[in-house]
Structures are given as structure tokens and as C-alpha cells.
Amino acid sequence: HVIDASKLLVLPGFIDSHVHFREPGGTQKEDFLSGTRAALAGGVTTVLDMPNTQPTTDTQEHLSAKIALVAPKAVVDYGFYFGATDTNIDEVAQAAHKVAALKLYMGSSTGSLLVTEFSPIYRHFSTFPLRKPIVVHAEDEQSLHYFGTQGSQDHNQARPPISAQIALSRALAIAEKTGRSLHIAHTTTQRELELIQEARQKGVHVTCEVTPLHLFLTEADQQRLGNYGKVNPPLRSQSDQDALWHYLDVIDTIGTDHAPHTRQDKDQPYAQAPSGMPGVQTLMPLLLNAASSGRITLEEVVKRCVSNPARIFGLKNKGALEAGKDADIVLVDPEQEYEITDREILSKCGWTPFAGTHIKGKIEHVFVRGTLAYHKGAILATPGSGRAVQYVDA
């Protein structure tokens, strides 16, 4: 291929530090081939995969099995999270150098991972390598009764008061006491960002994530999308969303929380329908569009989708375009306009909550470590060409 890049923008390949590729155990929803193909088409050249698979990634054996299973399938580079349980302190210690981070669910979500007691939380916080982040899902259990897994579909009901952020406060206090790095997954409210900012001023090593779902959708979209818009944490009000944009300085990473579920799963009655929406393929398009309308600069986007995740998770040779980094490169036509549709979604779920969204800025070519892997709608990369990331501390 001869590529004329004279009218194109160059961007570093994005790092999506929050995906659920469902392998093993949920491969009717996604597997590592479909998930990494969707990533590639979306300009994401590195993904960090969550541990709430079946079995959960909570023992050395389960981690090794997962690596063996996905390595021949991946078309982008990848790393893994290890899952914290009440009892797996020793397993975590053995696996720490092989993973990007430890995921600890302080509130329940899809899957069975959950740690709510003080003692195991404290032990994980004090023993996991202090400079490697523990990533927490810090939704209060009590708020889930209103918004989440047992939520009511009656949107005319008055909204209950916003949660007290008990889980987040506990996580921050224990991180302060133990002096460890903490990364807060999917923050959605001004209150959370205020608590994080306060903790930082006290010297707590805390970073945080926001998802494109919460940056670009609100509870009004939830009404339109029904079960397809059900997610933990839930889509919030317009004023909550405005706060995320207003406090963008406090937010370190934009991770998609790519959580695909089949139409069959989503079409169940509301209470049974699982939470989560796909997002890895639409991350860069949505942010290019936001940049083209002046809502955010490309520099601010690259910081949150490349430099910061590379630094926070200690990803060797990954990061913004500079000497010594892998040639993970995306070429974008900033003038081209199109509409997102379900048709080009490569995730096995086959749908996106962003169908119908008008986008300015089209991904044309994607290189993974110097090799042209995606070219104008065609995936050129072969299964297994993606590699496991290495960690700076390992």
C-alpha cells in the first residue's frame, strides 16, 4: 500500500484500559478476536481486559489459561487485570508482575467478583505492589437498589438522592493509610471528582477514569435505549454529565468499559437484563468528533487515551508519539463525516448505543508496531499478531 497522508492527521494508537472481552466463558457475547478487531477498527491498539470472565481471572491457573486461549486470537496488543476475592491474597502476590492492575469490585456488577469486608480490602491494598494500581468499582451497594442491578424501569419516579459515595470514601481512606496507587473506574458525578481532588491534595496517589458512555449519554438516552442503556454506574442527569466535562482536568483516563451483551440478553425483562454497553470501537470516533466541535483538544484526548494510561499501568514502549515508543499509529481524515450504524460494529453483540450519531473525523489507517493492520474498513492484521504488553516494573 502506498499511503498519501498529506491531508491526514496523525495520532498515537489509543490504549483502552477498561474492556470486557468475555473470554473465557462469555464468548457468545465477545471473544478476543472479535473484541480486538473492534478495537483495531476504532484506532485502539492496546487493550486491558477485565477479570470478570468465567472462570474469573483470580488464580494463576485461570490467568495462564486465559493467556493461552487469547494469544492466538488477538489483533491488537493486550494486558490483563487480576481479580481480587476475599481469599486470594497469595495468588495475587504471585501474579502481580504479570498483570496491569488488580481489579477490586466494592460494589456488585456483571460477574461474581465482590469484596466488601474491611479485612480483605485492607490486605489487598497493603500487599499488592504499591505503585501498581488497584482499580476499584466503587459504586455504593445501596445505590444499586435504585439505579443498577435491581433498578426499576419507571423513569417517572422521582430520582433518589445521589449516593453517599461510601465505597469511594473507604477506598480513598485505605489508599491514604497504605500509601498505595488507586485508580477509580467509571466516575460519573461531581461529588466523586471532588472527593478524588480532595484526596489528591492530601497526597493520596489516586487517579480516575470516565467512560464515553457517561460523557456522551444521559438518563434521557436511557429512556430511549431501554435495557440497552442499562449500565453500572447508570447513565446520569444532564447536570452530572456537564460536571464531568467541567471537571475534565481531574480525570486521568477515558476508558470505554466495553461490556458487550447480546440482543437476546438485553431483550429479557428489565430486572434480568445484564448491565453494560459496547464501546471500544466508538471511543476514538466520539472523541475526534468532540475535538472537531471544539469541546476538547486533541492533546487533551491523547493525554487521557494514551499517555496517562501508559504511565498509570506501567506499559513498556507504549505512550504518545515520541522516540522509543512502539509505532502504534492512527491516520485520520479530519474532514470526513459519517453516521455511526450498527452495521459496522465488529463486536459480536452487533449493536452500539451510539447508532445514529453524526461524526466528523474518520479513521483511515491503523498501524500496530509498524505494521499496517487496518486500511479503510478492512482488517489486515492476522489473528495472533497482537502481543502481550510488558510492564516497566517487571
- Chain residues binding ligand NCD by CB under 6 A are 20, 52, 109-110, 137, 231-232, 257, 259, 274-276
Q: In this complex, which beta carbon is closest to ligand NCD, that of residue 52 or of residue 178?
A: 52
**From the list Zn ion, ligand NCD, none, partner contacted by residue 110 (C-beta under 5 to 8 A by kind):** ligand NCD
In the stretch 203-242, what mask flags binding to Zn ion with x, by CB under 5 A?
Answer: ----------------------------------------
Q: Which of 137, 214, 236, 303 binds Zn ion (CB under 5 A)?
A: 137
CB of 314 to Zn ion, least distance (A): 20
Contact between 66 and Zn ion per CB under 5 A: no
**In terms of Cα–Cα distance, which of 156, 139, 165, 166 is closest to 231?**
139
**From the list Zn ion, ligand NCD, none, partner contacted by residue 70 (C-beta under 5 to 8 A by kind):** none
Q: In this complex, which beta carbon is closest to ligand NCD, that of residue 178 or of residue 188?
A: 188
CB of 103 to ligand NCD, least distance (A): 9
Contact between 16 and Zn ion per CB under 5 A: no
**From the list ligand NCD, Zn ion, none, partner contacted by residue 17 (C-beta under 5 to 8 A by kind):** none
Q: In this complex, which beta carbon is closest to ligand NCD, that of residue 274 or of residue 285?
A: 274
Range in contact with Zn ion (rule: CB under 5 A) among 96-104, 136-144, 325-333, 358-366: 136-144
Parallel/antiparallel/unpaired status of strands 182-184 and 134-137: parallel
Parallel/antiparallel/unpaired status of strands 101-105 and 134-137: parallel
- Residue 355: all three cell numbers together: 447508532
Q: What's the chain look like in SS3?
A: CCCCCCCCEEEECEEEEEECCCCCCCCCCCCHHHHHHHHHHCCEEEEEECCCCCCCCCCHHHHHHHHHHHCCCCCCEEEEEEECCCCCHHHHHHHHHHCCEEEEECCCCCCCCCCCCHHHHHHHHHHCCCCCCEEEECCCHHHHHHHCCCCCCCCCCCCCCCCCCHHHHHHHHHHHHHCCCEEECCCCCHHHHHHHHHHHHCCCCEEEEECHHHHHCCHHHHHHHHHHHCCCCCCCCHHHHHHHHHCHHHCCEECCCECCCCHHHHCCCCCCCCCCCCCCCCHHHHHHHHHHCCCCCHHHHHHHHHHHHHHHCCECCCCCCCCCCCCCEEEEEEEEEEECCHHHCCCCCCCCCCCCCEEEEEEEEEEECCEEEEECCEECCCCCCCCECCECCC
Q: In this complex, which beta carbon is closest to Zn ion, that of residue 304 or of residue 362?
A: 304
Q: In this complex, which beta carbon is closest to ligand NCD, that of residue 13 or of residue 279?
A: 279
Residues 6+ apart with CB under 8 A from 90: none
CB of 288 to ligand NCD, least distance (A): 24
- Residue 115: all three cell numbers together: 469484596
**From the list ligand NCD, Zn ion, none, partner contacted by residue 77 (C-beta under 5 to 8 A by kind):** none
In the stretch 236-275, what mask flags binding to Zn ion with x, by CB under 5 A?
Answer: ---------------------x------------------
CB of 336 to Zn ion, least distance (A): 31
Q: In this complex, which beta carbon is closest to ligand NCD, that of residue 109 or of residue 190?
A: 109
Direct distance between the N- and C-terminal alpha carbons of the chain, in angstroms, rounded to an integer: 37
- Using CB under 5 A as the binding rule, the residues of this chain from 78 to 107 that contact Zn ion are none
**From the list Zn ion, ligand NCD, none, partner contacted by residue 308 (C-beta under 5 to 8 A by kind):** none
CB of 209 to Zn ion, least distance (A): 10
Contact between 304 and Zn ion per CB under 5 A: no
Q: In this complex, which beta carbon is closest to Zn ion, that of residue 109 or of residue 187?
A: 109
CB of 8 to Zn ion, least distance (A): 32
**From the list ligand NCD, Zn ion, none, partner contacted by residue 275 (C-beta under 5 to 8 A by kind):** ligand NCD
Evaluate the omega torsion of the peptide bond into residue 285 and state whether it is cis, within 30 degrees of 0.
Answer: no
**From the list Zn ion, ligand NCD, none, partner contacted by residue 368 (C-beta under 5 to 8 A by kind):** none
Residues within the interface to Zn ion (CB under 5 A): 109, 137, 257
